[in-house]
Amino acid sequence: MQFVWDRPEVSLALSGMGSKQMIDENCASADASGINALSDDDRKVLKEIVGIYTKRIRVPCASCMYCMQCPSGVNIPQNFAILNNVSLQASAKQNSSQRFYTYLIKRGYKKMAGSKYELARNPGNGNALVCTKCGRCMERCPQARKITTELEKVHEVLGKGKRIDDVFTLLSTIDEK
């Protein structure tokens, strides 16, 4: 939020809050903020983090949820989040605890519903395999992403075990919408 409040072009910031504690924290943070409140060092660190992060993200979904409710029951933002977390983990040399974390992330995909039968028990939490390519999500996506194509790729990696680099191109080299 400090980054948002630091921007002179921002006149209003909306923050999701679910408790009084969150309201109090956001108000305290807003009181301590303002245009040009971030130091040059803060901006430098933020720029470096953004660079590292965007180089490893394969599907730049903002998780805005406009694509939801999927008529097929696919949890679109969660599928993309799992894939992006796998990609972020894969970007570093992994020790055994990092490999275990990557395994847990992939396991999250496998726990999602992968059939109509499983969706009946776990509605709205389908993995990419249950996508019927109806295109409703793409009509709603403010980023104009080719969601159905991206979901196919997600399943290639998380469902069929293909290497992420064989299926997805890094965004630093191509930003396909």
Question: Can you spell out the DSSP letters for 131-168?
Answer: -----HHHHH-TT---HHHHHHHHIIIIIT---HHHH-
Mean pLDDT over the full length of the chain: 87
pLDDT given at position 98: 67
The more confidently predicted of residues 45 and 102 is 45
Q: Which helix (H) or strand (E) holds 49?
A: helix 40-56
pLDDT confidence bin for 3, thresholds 50/70/90? confident
Distance (Å, whole) CA 148 – CA 160: 17
| pLDDT of 177 over the 60 cut | no
Where in the chain are the domains?
2-56, 76-167
CB neighbour list of residue 158: distance below 8 Å, 6 or more residues apart = 79, 82, 83, 86, 106, 109, 110, 127, 128
130-152 average pLDDT score: 96
CA gap 62, 56 in Å, rounded? 15
Counting residues of the chain whose pLDDT is more than 90, the rounded percentage is 54
**Residues 77 and 65: beta-carbon distance below 8 Å:** yes
Most confidently modeled range among 29-33, 84-88, 118-122: 118-122
Nearest Cα residue to 90 out of 33, 1, 36, 167: 167
Question: What is the reported pLDDT for 175?
Answer: 41
In this predicted structure, the answer to whether residue 72 has a pLDDT above a threshold of 90 is: yes
For a pLDDT cut of 70, what percent of the chain falls above it?
90
